[in-house]
Amino acid sequence: MLFLQQLINGLAIGSVYALMTVGYSLIYSLMSFTNFAHGVVVTVCAYVGYFVLSFFITNIPVGIICALVSGLAVSVIIELSTYRPLLLRNAKRLYLCIAGLGLSIMAENLIIIFLSGRFKSYPAEVLTLGNITVGSATIGIIDLVILGVSVVALVGLELYIRTSKDGLAIRGASFSLDNASIMGINTDGLMIKVFAIAGALAGVAGFFCGIKYTAYPKLGSSLTNKAFISAVLGGLGSLPGAIVGSFILGVLEVMVAGYVSSTLRDVFSFSLLVIILLVKPTGLMGKSSEDKA
């Protein structure tokens, strides 16, 4: 049963994309700008996971928590140091994108300088957790762990946004940031919270990517591109869309790599993006895509 194996693998990759895309969509829906520095968080946390697991303790839960905390910290630092001054000045949203791009270029090359550009593989004990055999299919336990943790995180986020007071504020602010601020919501504090959530999720995504693909300097930017594709596929700014889009992209990629050719996987993803933009730019669940101006 190669198909079942591929499906689980695809769902695991899709869930990692979902962790990344949800954070990106959350920031997008609130502040309507594309956070190009999101990849920095992923890369940093992949390295944090690598160092913790290789040199301190070979324990996956500890690694996840370390990646989560460092992701949260890095994301909040980025918000406070770069985006906050620009937001206070009411700069054009595109300037924020450019600043994020600058940050990600800087971080990528600093990592190459100080940690070398080589691929860093996580310790073997983590990678070979063993397999489960269902019928004739062998399913890696690590894939199930990734899928499980990601689904728990995503459900937790959905519950948080649906039920908590902050969640209500986030929903209101995504409708209109200015109106939310008039209604007495502390939007500055809310932005920090959103960046913290997005950073924590991206941190976990970075850890899982480190396990699946090893840690390397360009990990973040390649994953950011996948997150953009998932977000557009699901509809820019829509959280359920982001999750659905990520899972679809993950499964499709694995299927293309498994049944067609592994070198065509990324060609397929980017061509898919271009085709969606040409045919149905609102994606599966997006609503308006016109500029409000």
Q: List interacting residues with another protein (CB under 8 A).
A: 28, 32-34, 82, 85-86, 91, 93-95, 97-99, 101-110, 112-113, 221, 225, 228-229, 232, 236, 263-264, 266-267, 270-271, 273-274, 277-278, 281, 289-291, 293
For the CB of residue 280, give the shortest distance to another protein in the complex, in Å.
10
For the CB of residue 263, give the shortest distance to another protein in the complex, in Å.
6
For the CB of residue 265, give the shortest distance to another protein in the complex, in Å.
9
Residue among 124 and 293 whose Cβ is closer to another protein: 293
Which parts of 235-264 fold into alpha helices (H)? 239-255
Question: CA 43 to CA 210: how far, in whole Å?
Answer: 9
User: What's the one-letter identity of residue 83?
Assistant: Y
CA distances from 220 to 77, 91, 180, 213, 235 (A): 17, 26, 32, 12, 22
Q: Please tell me the number of Cα atoms within 13 Å of 191 on its side-chain side.
A: 21
Residue among 142 and 215 whose Cβ is closer to another protein: 215
For the CB of residue 58, give the shortest distance to another protein in the complex, in Å.
31
Question: CA 52 to CA 43: how far, in whole Å?
Answer: 14
What six digits make up the tokens of 66?
């370390």
Residue among 6 and 289 whose Cβ is closer to another protein: 289
Question: CA 206 to CA 209: how far, in whole Å?
Answer: 5
Residue among 194 and 236 whose Cβ is closer to another protein: 236
Residue among 139 and 276 whose Cβ is closer to another protein: 276
Question: CA 240 to CA 246: how far, in whole Å?
Answer: 10
